[in-house]
Amino acid sequence: MGSIQNYFEIFKIKPSFDIQPTILQSKYHELCKKYHPDISSDFDIKDGDLNIAIINNAYKTLLNDYKRAIYLYKLNGNHLNKNLSTDFLNEILFTNETIDMTTNIDVLNKLKEITVLKINECKNKYNDSNSLIKWKYYDRMLKNISNKIEMLM
């Protein structure tokens, strides 16, 4: 295989945000059989720097929508601009306070629904730095909402 240039090459798939998870999983299992030292009896280092740790990291990165989007963005030579507007930061602060203060599951479910929509908007703009940064905030917010709902049930 030689020197690996990117994670997509490891799995022999086209660099794209839209990938088929089942195809990725199938290729991952094939590579595990070939490169895992506990499974493969003819394991050697002839394929350059490729090893099971790199394969696992590549798989986890490409399987996760957010991590894949960030990886693609950086792969294309872009750098994340972490400067967010005051309005956005205030929105996050206000929503997090609402999550912390409310005990109404209906309110939390509505916030969850809105947050999922915002994450989907960010996914649709995965090649935009601001959208990628916002996605991370919304993803964290969604986890907080889900945890709060679980705690109240």
Q: Rounded to whole angstroms, how far apart are CA atoms 69 and 48?
A: 26
Q: Is residue 81 part of a domain?
A: no
Q: Is residue 43 part of a domain?
A: yes
pLDDT value of residue 102: 94
State the CB neighbour count (10 A cutoff) for residue 113: 11
Q: Is residue 75 part of a domain?
A: no
pLDDT value of residue 106: 96
Q: Is residue 136 part of a domain?
A: yes
Count: domains in the chain: 2
Averaged pLDDT in 10-residue chunks for the chain of 153 residues = 78 95 95 76 54 92 96 92 90 95 96 97 94 96 96 92
pLDDT value of residue 36: 72
pLDDT value of residue 40: 56
Domain that includes residue 92, residue range: 86-152
pLDDT value of residue 111: 97
pLDDT value of residue 1: 45
- Please answer whether residues 131 and 69 qualify as being in contact, where contact means their C-beta atoms are separated by less than 8 angstroms: no
